[in-house]
Homo-oligomer: A and B are copies of this chain.
């Protein structure tokens, strides 16, 4: 077999610097063996969105954006190079049968959860509809779940008007008896972005709701500490459902439902760092980014950064990665 100098396979990085390792290189395709530590799986479903959404393109975009970052945290003086992030790949969606797509998200994540009890899977949406399946699978494999949902919206809409959409995942979980309202803490709920009917529903079912006003008055970190304490009273397994539209439009211009009055990105990063250190946190999803609407993939870039920061602090847990 011949080799020819200076010929790189299609798709390889065009330039390599010996001193820079890309966070994207941490992603290792799943080999079929048991996985430990942080892993990702794409759930590229956005036909379930009430409004037009290209969020199914996000898993590939976040993977690409991980190549914008290196593996080295100067703040922690720690290099992630020895830590893999397993990439389970993307769950295959059905072209026209969206309920089949949702079933597949559940079955694949349940299979992953069952086979890889030491893995902390970050599910990459897709829209927020994927969380219903993801959280159900999480609880079935980890035990009773406590959810911290970052979101401008309740996502507690009724399922009769439009079926199980990106507006309904937490309603589905409650109505299907998967969770009770006390298992759910919502953070960042925003003015004029929700219906009163669904606030009533949240109250009736004991969902904890922290509005953006609460966040501004109390600080995100303080609310998170309180939320973790509260959820740990009834569960040891916390799941983060991160709808990126919890952020202000200035910081997440690529969410389908952008608007003013939201969180800034520094606060969110700090919040995720805190949660990554918390041993009870065992799963996460990141949803509601539409790369076709974003500016220079800013929002996917931030999501990639959050995954890396999460990995950094997760790996620092006792027995972390």
Q: Which of A289-309 contact B (CB under 8 A)?
A: 292-293, 295-296, 298, 301-302, 305, 308-309
Verify if A136 is at the interface (C-beta below 8 Å from B): no
Taking the closest CB of chain B, its distance from the CB of A292, in whole angstroms, is 7
| In-complex Cβ contact of A91 among B6, B90, B301 (8 A) | B6
Copies in the complex: 6
Taking the closest CB of chain B, its distance from the CB of A61, in whole angstroms, is 12
Contact B95 A44 (CB under 8 A): no
B-side contacts of A23, CB under 8 Å: 192
Q: Interface stretch among A138-146, A194-202, A218-226, A228-236?
A: A194-202
B-side contacts of A305, CB under 8 Å: 192, 259-261
Taking the closest CB of chain B, its distance from the CB of A2, in whole angstroms, is 5
B-side contacts of A87, CB under 8 Å: 10
B-side contacts of A29, CB under 8 Å: 9-10
A2-23 vs B, CB cutoff 8 Å, 1 = contact: the mask equals 1111111111101111111101
Q: Which of A20-42 contact B (CB under 8 A)?
A: 20-21, 23, 27, 29-33, 41-42
Contact A298 B253 (CB under 8 A): yes
B-side contacts of A91, CB under 8 Å: 6-8
| In-complex Cβ contact of A195 among B17, B30, B259, B308 (8 A) | B17
State A173–B93 Cα separation when bound (angstroms): 25
Contact A75 B213 (CB under 8 A): yes
Chain B residue at minimal CB-CB distance from A72: B196
Q: Interface stretch among A159-167, A177-185, A277-285?
A: A159-167
Can you list 11 A-B pairs with a CB-CB distance of less than 8 A?
A2-B32, A4-B88, A8-B91, A10-B42, A20-B198, A52-B56, A72-B192, A95-B163, A96-B163, A251-B260, A259-B301
